Amino acid sequence: MKITTDVLANVGYLYMDNQQPIMKTITSEDNLFNFDVDYSGNLVGVEILSLTKFTKNYNTELIPETVFNIVTTQFKKVEK
């Protein structure tokens, strides 16, 4: 898993280990995430649309475990 950030745009991207072609993008109900999924519905990556909600002490250091847990929870809601 890898996380990249664009502080000026206030976004980040979480790359999953599964680097398959993206079939579609699904937006979470709270509009905080865009989930990229492959043809089998597996998560390929996640765009974090409000990076500052997941930063530590107002700097750009992301807390990967927190982001991953939130993303996993949100994605499960979208799958239903």
Beta strands in 1-61 (DSSP E): 2-6, 11-15, 24-27, 33-37, 43-48
With contact defined as beta carbons under 8 Å apart, do 4 and 13 qualify?
yes
Domain span holding position 11: 2-79
The rounded distance, in Å, linking the Cα atoms of 63 and 38 is 26
Structure tokens at 37: 């999924």
For 32-69, the pLDDT digits (tens) are 899 999 998 888 999 989 887 776 654 555 556 666 66
- Determine the pLDDT at residue 1: 77
Tell me the pTM. Answer: 0.74
Match 């509009």 to its residue by tokens.
31
Task: Look at 19 and 13; give whichever has higher pLDDT.
Answer: 13
Give the model's confidence band at 8: pLDDT under 50 very low, under 70 low, under 90 confident, else very high.
confident
- Determine the pLDDT at residue 56: 62
**Total number of residues shown for the chain:** 80
How many domains are there within the chain? Answer: 1
